[in-house]
Amino acid sequence: MDESAHDWRFVKLGRKLGWTSVALKTCKTLTGAILSLCWAKEHDMTLMVQDLTNPRLAQVPHVLLAAYAGTICGVESNAMQFYPEASSEFFKVHPGLYQRRNGVLDLSTLSGPGFGYAGVESLA
């Protein structure tokens, strides 16, 4: 399942219709993605975290969800491909989030509680 996975009830319906995997997207609703993730995991569905080109701070909850979800293929992240300059300020704080190296994003600058926004207040 793809676009319909923003609500766990749609994931439930998809499972009933024969879907075995779900693609989560934080850009629609982070809470919905988390609830869908929980329902899908409870019912042995495989997971993927896809994006609709999440730039700037939208990248943070997106990659964090993927880091802890137990996905089958990591995370799809393509904002830096389609419009890299949109996140150039945030690159200064979290360079690994906005530049792939050998297909991998570096989340090491994300730490502590919350959504990993620490450090970006200096950009204001």
The number of distinct structural domains making up the chain is: 1
What does pLDDT average to over the chain? 87
pLDDT in tens, 32-79: 999 999 999 999 999 999 877 788 888 888 898 888 898 888 888 888
| Residue 79 DSSP SS3 | helix
Structural domain includes residue 119: no
CA distances to 17, 37, 71 from 114, in Å = 36, 19, 21
Structural domain includes residue 115: no
* pLDDT attached to residue 52: 72
Question: Does position 124 have pLDDT exceeding 70, yes or no?
Answer: no
Question: Does position 82 have pLDDT exceeding 70, yes or no?
Answer: yes
Domain of 65, in residue numbers: 3-107
Count of CB atoms situated within 10 Å of the CB of 9: 12
The whole model's pTM is what? Answer: 0.84
The conformational region for residue 48 under phi > 0 = left, psi -120 to 50 = alpha, else beta, is beta
User: Does residue 12 or residue 60 have the better pLDDT?
Assistant: 12
